Chain A
C-alpha cells in the first residue's frame, strides 16, 4: 500500500521537498487565504453551525493582519481537511513523528472517519503556520488524545459531504451510502457523486466548536468500533519507501540560496567563563565569515561545512575554569545523591500504616537501587536551518515540538511570533527533550546576526556530552511479608537528580540562553515518580525527593524528558524489588504478582487492574512459563540461563515483559536472547506499526539496561562518542521477540477500549525483567544499571558464582 508522496519532488529554488513548499504556501495570507476570503460564489454550506462563517472568516483575517504567519484556526474544518478535485484528500495535523509511524496511524483514523480509501489521502504534520497547534509530539498521547479531534473533524467532513450530496442528488441523507469517497443512492447505486465532484478544490467553510483544540468537534459522531474499516489494519508506513531509496529530504538536507554553516565552540569544562577570543586564529580558514559570541556562547560561521568544522577546531578561546567543581564524578554520584539535602520532597503518599506493618512483619526485605544519568544521544547530532529572509524567521527542524520552538524563538529573539514559522521535517529519533530544541534557537540567533540562512550542526561529541539527560535516581525500599508470605507493607523512597529540569523550547532554558547568562527566576523543581502498578498492598508509603547537582546552569547534566521520563528508572527498581520479595516468599514471580493484583476487587473505569492480570497471563503463556521460585541450584557450564518478568502501566496502557538471558560466568556478558511482550493499549490503530514501535521501545530499554551511562569527572562529561558511550548493537539483538497484542477489556457492553498511547510504555519494564532473569540464572541481584560485562563479572565474583 505504498504510494508516491510528492515529497520526492524538489523545487529548484529552495531544494526543499515540493510537498513542504506547498505547505508553506497553503496558508500564506497574501495569497490563498486572502483570495479565499475575497472570492465570491464559493460553496456555501447550509448548516446550523455555518451561520457564523463569514464573521469568523473576517475575524480571522483581522487577527491575522499584523503578522505573516497567522495561527491556523482549529475551529475551521478547512484547517484540518482539504479535498482535491481528483477526489484525494490532504489531512493537516499539529503532530510530528519521532519514528513510530504515527503519521500513518493519523491517516488511518481520518481516512476511516471520512470514508475515503487510505491510498487516496496524504498527511501534513507539524509546521506551525499550516497545521493547527496540537503541540507536536510528546507523552505518547498522539493517538490517545490528539487522535480524537482528528477523528471528529473527519467525521464532520463526511457528514457535510453527505448533506451536499443529498442536495445535489435530491435524496435524503438516510437514503445515501458512502464508500471510499463515493456517495451513492442506496436504491439506485448508478446515481452517484464523488467527494471530489462535491467539494474538490473548494473550502468546507464550516465552523467547529470546542473550548480547546482537544475538544474540537463538529456535529457528527465518530464511528462505533464495529464500523471501523481502516483502523485495526496494517497499511505499510507511507514514509518508509523514501527512507530506504535515499529520496527523502530530511531537515538535515534543506539547502537555501546564500546559506552558510555554523558550528558551536562549547566551553571545555562546565561553567567555564569565556575571557577572550583570538579571532586571528581562524582568519586564514577559507570561507571564514564570523565568530559570533555573547557571554559564554561562541560559534563560528563559514561558507562551507568543512570550513566551519575546521574553524571551530582551530579557534583559540581563553576560558576560565569555575572555582568549584560542577558535580561529583559519575562514580561518586549515588553517594553524593544519598547525602544531599533534597531541593524538594513531596508529601509521601501513605496507605494504611507501613511502619507498624513492617514492625510486625515476619520477614522484612530491604534494598537500594541506582540508575545513572542517561542521554538521548540522538543518532544524528542536533541540527537546524534558520532563514531570516524578508525580516521573518523560518526554521527547518526535526524538533518534535515545533510549536514550542516557534514561541520560544520569537521570545528569545524578541520578534513577533507571527513573523516566525517552524517547518517540521523528518529527523533522527526525538525521544523527548533532545538538543534539537537548542540547535533551532542557535541557528535562529546566528541567522539574525549574519542576515543569511544559517545551518547549525552539532558534533557527535557535543551531542553526547551536552544534550539533555534523563535524571539519575537512587531508591531505597523496604517490604514486609507476613507469616504466610503475603506482602503486607511496601515502603518506597526515590531520589531523582532532576533539579532545574528543562522543558521544551523555553527561551530561558535552552543552552544558548544559559550560556549567555539568562536565568529564570525560579529553577523548575523537577520530580520523580512512584511505581506504576496495580498491586493491592494494604500498607504502603511512596516518597519522592529531588536533589540538585552543585552546578545547575550551563551544565551538560541538564535534565529533561527522555522517553518516559522516569519510568525506566522507577520500574527497574520497583519491579526488581517485587522480585526480591517473591524470592523471599519462595514464590513464583508471576504467581506472586498475580496474587497481588487479584487481592483487590475494585477496578477503575479503564479496567487497568483486570487488564494487568491479562497481560501478565498472556506473557507467561506465550513464553511457556513454568511455575517455580527463582531459588534454585546454580546450573553447570559457563553459560547460565534464567528468565525474569517485569510489569507496569503507563497511563492506561498496561504491559508485561518476560525475557530469557544467557549469562557468561567467565566474562560477565549478558545476552538477552528472548523477549516476550504482552501489551494492551486499547484499540490498536495499526497492529504491525504497534509491534515495531514496541520492539524498538524494548530494545532501547535494553540498551539503557546493558550499556548506557553518562560518565563524568568533576568538570565535564567524559562519555562523548560511541566508544566511550556504548549503545546496543546487532550482536546484542535477541534471537526471538514476540509481541502479543492483548485486549483485556472485560466490559461486555463495549467491544473495545479507546485507543491509548503506545509510544513509551514498552521502555519501562524491560530493565527489571533483565535483572530478574540474571538473578534467576545466577542467584546474583544487580541493583545498579547498566549491566556491562565488568560490573556483572565483579558481582558474580563477589558471590562466588565464577
Chain B
C-alpha cells in the first residue's frame, strides 16, 4: 500500500492503495465515482472509459500508478450544473436501453468530438467501433453524436421524426 494522489474532475484525492490496482476500482470503490463501470476488466468493451489527456482510456486495465495527468469521469462532463451537449443529445434521442454501457459510449464520443468536432458517419462508426453495447443502441448513439456535434457547432439539430403510423 502507498499514498497515491489523483486529480479527478478538478478535485485532488490522496488514497492509500496498492498502486498497481487498476484505476477503475479506485475510482469506484475509494472515490465513489460510479460513472465508470465494470464490464470486462479486459479493455474490450469500454464500460470503464475515462478521459486522461484528451484520450478515452480504459480504466479497468490502467494501473493507478501509471496515471500522471488529470482524469475526467462521466460525473465531470457537466459544467456548472449544465449537461454536456452529448449528455443532452443522449436524453433528446432517448438513447439508453439498460444504460450500463453508456458511460463508455458518452466518454468515447466526447474524446472523438474533442478531436474531430464534425465527424462523418464513417468517422463516428470507426471511432466508436470498439465500444460495445449489448442492448444494441448503436443506431441511437450515432444519431446522438451527430446531434451533439451540430449543437456544439451552433447548428439547430434536425428533428428526428421517424414516426410512421400505418
Contacts and interface: CB of A to CB of B under 8 A. Distances in A.
Interface of A: 2, 15, 98-101, 236-237, 239-241, 243-250, 252-253, 255, 286, 304-306, 309, 377-381, 426-430, 457, 459-460, 614, 618, 621-622, 678, 687-689, 691-693, 695-696, 699-700, 702-703, 721-723, 727-735, 737-744
Given A244-B90, A249-B34, A687-B163, A306 B22 contact: yes
B165 A380 contact: no
B81 to A, nearest CB: 10
Contact of A730 (B40, B47, B103, B125): B125
Contacts of A243: 96, 99, 102
Contact of B94 (A237, A732, A735): A237
Given A246-B74, A379-B132, A730-B131, A696 B100 contact: no
16 contacts: A236-B94, A245-B77, A255-B32, A306-B18, A306-B22, A379-B101, A460-B42, A460-B45, A692-B97, A695-B140, A702-B136, A722-B40, A729-B129, A730-B142, A733-B138, A737-B162
B110 to A, nearest CB: 12
Most buried by A among B22, B45, B163, B166: B166
Contact of B100 (A250, A457, A699, A727): A250
Contacts of A286: 1, 18
A379 B134 contact: yes
Interface size class, chain B? 35 or more
B155 interface: no
B99 A426 contact: yes
B135 interface: yes
B45 A728 contact: no
Given A245-B75, A253-B34, A429 B97 contact: yes
Contact of B165 (A309, A428, A731, A740): A740
B60 to A, nearest CB: 10
B91 to A, nearest CB: 6
B41 interface: yes
A436 to B, nearest CB: 12
Given A380-B100, A459-B41, A246 B125 contact: no
Interface of B: 1, 18, 21-22, 25, 28-29, 32-35, 37-42, 44-45, 47, 73-75, 77-78, 83, 87, 90-91, 94-103, 106, 121, 124-126, 128-142, 162-166
A426 B73 CA distance: 20
B136 A618 contact: no
B133 to A, nearest CB: 7
Contact of A246 (B35, B134, B164): B35
B44 A722 contact: yes
A728 B37 contact: no
Contacts of B95: 240, 244
A100 B137 CA distance: 11
Nearest to A430: B98
Contacts of B121: 735
A244 B41 contact: no
Most buried by A among B44, B132, B135, B165: B135
A700 B40 CA distance: 19
Contacts of B163: 687, 691, 741
A429 B100 contact: yes
Contacts of B25: 304-306
Contacts of B126: 731
B34 to A, nearest CB: 4
B129 A730 contact: yes
